[in-house]
Structure 1
Amino acid sequence: MKTHLAHLMFSKRLSWLNSLNKYKNMIFVGVAAFYLGCSATLSIMQMDCQCTATKIQKMTERVEYPVIVLSGPNNEDKRDAIRATWAKLANNIFVENGETLFKWNCNGTKSISELNIIKIYFIIGAAGLTDVQLSKLTAEQKRHNDVVLIDNLEDSYKNLAQKMLLTLTWVNEKLSGYKYLVKCDDDSFVRIDLIVKDLEAFGPDMSALEISKYVTFKSFQHTQPNNKKHRGLYWGYFDGRARVYQSGKWQEQDWFLCDTYLPYALGGAYVISSGIIDYVALNGQYYSTYRSEDVSMGVWTAALDNINRVHDIRFDTEWKSRGCDAHMLVRHKQTPKDMYEMYDTLVHSQGKSLCKNESTVRKFYHYNWDVLPSKCCK
């Protein structure tokens, strides 16, 4: 019985080996097909990954001069006033034979956004907004393609510094090819064409004779080698002796650095170069934020070596306007009506006159960079 069972098992094994030998070519082809299929699948997956990376890259928008306007959720009238007035001044900047040039051309046929030179972005915090507010802002973005909603930020005065920090992070991640960033508020009228013109011609040194009567900056001749180059630009209307508010809207409960604010460019508008943007965006997790975003910017940049801090009297950015002068690059604290009036005056004068009637309400000062900040601004 055992012998018969062993013989039967041997016969089955021999039959299986004969079948295996008979179909070995077919098995080989099947295994090869399996590996080829796996290889093709992996290749397709790799292609998919590469395509995804390309799509992500395409999401990055190229613009040389982003203009960041901090705006409120309900300020559509101010945003519309900017779109209809000084935003159009970007058409005065154009490229010819590879050079960026300025020419009065308010009715330019080509949109400046198509040239990747200047683009305006309205920054708004979206956290806590009602469905109606979000719906209106979404519709506004579809119409104009210039609204940036920060999802994790409640838009309020107390969050302005955090809003600026998140905005610079967004710029660092989503924009490419930028040289300088212009920051302003939605109640500022900005000669964006002349700002870009000066940056192209004189930045970052800003030491040209043509603008010497408007600007003051710290000279390196006593402390640095003559051939040392500026690594960045921080340009606006500076204050170095502003007292720290202990109460009210601007109260700084967490301020401990000294008994005055560190020198900073007033927030109605200022300009910072790409290296400063990158530095602040990449190190933002370590920064303290204060009640005022412009004060915070002064603190964030205080330790940076060899950036050119340029005070310019053409920036009318104090808490109250100093009046109107034809040479001004920025006028802060302006209503939509004021903006339409200034724009009409510019158009009718072919860019020569900003003001219907020039006036001086308050005096300006030249910043003295060679004395202590408390004595800077007489």
Structure 2
Amino acid sequence: MFALLLRRYKGMILASILFFYLGCGITLSFIRIDCVSSLSTTNNRKSKDDFNTNLERVEYAVLIVSSPMNEAKRDCIRATWANFVHNIIIENGEHLYKWNHTWTENSVPQDFIKCFFVVGVQGLDSVKLKKIQSEHTRSNDLLILSDFEDSYKNLASKLIHSLEWMSKNLKQLKYIIKCDDDSFVRVDLIVRDLEAFAPEMNGPTISQYVTYKKTLPSYKGLYWGYFDGRARVFLNGKWQEKDWFLCDTYLPYALGGGYVISRSIVDYIAKNSEFLSQYNSEDVSMGVWTAALDGINRVHDTRFDTEWKSRGCDNNMLVRHKQTLSDMFQMYRTLVNSQGTKLCKTEAALRKYYQYNWNSLPSVCCK
């Protein structure tokens, strides 16, 4: 009997199923359109309001050097360590570190720390340019250099352009944390230590990690990272320096995977940019630009894993350079699951670190 009814009303049943799915599809399409429209409106408003108006409240800028086509790397950072800026909160007028991040809860918003992905867009075709503009609309964190062609040989110039912009537009700026888009940065812990110890950087809780030349009554600025003073000058290959003439080695510099400079250094470079020599490596250039500055506290810190190859993973590290997207997500998961106490799934020392000897000549600085 059932089979007879099924054959008799087969057409009606099929038509009903067709219209049911068609109706669902149309409904879901309108829902998706509404969501996209709402998100677009919100992002456009956010981009216009936050990026321009709230710049006046930025005290700590995270300057992330990125290539225009590295959207996947930027999204990875946005989804992982960039969220840790919310672990710095203000209580009774003081900036304090407090783990403030979970899988499910929204972080408390703040606007005194901001990440900027700097990209040059001169020479990009219309499709790539539109993609960059669309990314900025949704993310509100691109520092777009419209009159700058992005390339490796222009890295020093790119850094100068960025520092000029920040010197001009970030009125409350205290420090810049510079890093690459393949670095995992504990921005929260860096800001915590800056608030507690800068510019002297001589607190007992960090003394085992840092070395500096001498203690002064006061400092005019801070240059903080993992320094090298014995590096031989590259005469060929990717890092070739055709215009280098100063000496047989590079001047002492903090390795470019991640370092910190104070507002005083930012302003100095911005004001004197037209007189500064530029070399292929932006970190080498920074070492040269700051070499003649008096009263700058140059601080070597073993928690910066910023060499050409990672030294491994230690839970105390502030920066880990040369990390893949998978590496970043793994460290992020480990930190979230441990409430910020563990960076490494498994700690491992792949290469040795050194303490910088500021009282010796650079050629024997780093044993």
Query: Quick check: TM above 0.5?
Result: yes
Q: What amino acid is aligned across from residue 296 of structure 1 in structure 2?
A: S
Unaligned runs of 5+ in 2: 1-51
The alignment's C-alpha RMSD in Å is 1.3
Aligned with residue 328 of structure 2, among 336, 339, 349: 339
**Mapping 1:230-245, distance limit 5 Å:** 230-245=219-234
Cα drift, residue 110 of structure 1: 4.9
1:274 equivalent among 244, 260, 263 = 263
**Aligned mates of 1:98, 1:68 — CA distance in 2:** 25
Offset of residue 61 of structure 1: 3.4
Q: What corresponds to 1:10 in structure 2?
A: none
CA distance in 2, matches of 1:109, 1:204: 33
CA drift at 1:373: 0.5
Match runs of 1:16-55 below 5 Å: none
Query: What is aligned with 1:288?
Result: 277
How far apart, in 1, do the equivalents of 2:274 and 2:333 lie? 44
After superposing on structure 2, the runs of 4+ consecutive aligned residues of structure 1 that deviate more than 2 Å are 57-62, 107-112
- Is the contact between residue 123 and residue 148 of structure 1 (CA under 8 Å) also seen in structure 2? yes
Q: Which residue of 2 is the match for residue 99 of structure 1?
A: 94
8 Å Cα contact 1:60/1:173 also seen in 2? no
CA distance 1:123–1:375, shift in 2 (3 Å): same
- Counting matched residue pairs gives 314
The answer to whether residue 61 in structure 2 is matched with residue 72 in structure 1 is no
Q: Secondary structure at the match of 2:298?
A: strand
Q: Once the two structures are superposed, what CA deviation does each residue of 1:326-352 show, in whole Å capped at 9, x if it has no partner?
A: 000000000111101100000001111
| Structure 1 residue 148: Cα displacement | 1.2
Q: Deviations over 1:170-216 (max 9, x none)?
A: 10112120111000000000000000000000000001111000000
3-state SS of paired residue (2:176): strand
Letter in 1 for 2:167: N
- What 5-or-longer segments of structure 1 have no aligned partner? 1-56, 221-225
CA distance in 2 between counterparts of 1:148 and 1:198 reads 26
* Seq. identity, %: 61
From 188, 209, 218, the counterpart of 1:229: 218
What residue in structure 1 maps to residue 140 of structure 2? 145
Displacement of 1:116 in angstroms is 2.5
Distance 2:214 2:242 in 1: 35
Residue 111 of structure 1: CA displacement?
4.8
CA–CA separation in structure 2 for the residues paired with 1:111 and 1:177: 21
Counterpart Cα distance in 1 of 2:175 and 2:54: 20
3-state SS, counterpart of residue 352 of structure 2: coil
Asked if structure 1 preserves the Cα contact closer than 8 Å seen for 2:63 and 2:118, the reply is: yes
Superposed displacement of residue 58, structure 1: 5.2
TM-score by length of 1: 0.81
Between structure 1 and structure 2, the one with the greater Rg is: 1
How many angstroms does 1:247 deviate by? Answer: 0.2
TM-score by length of 2: 0.84
Separation (CA, whole Å) in 2 of partners of 1:111 and 1:71: 27
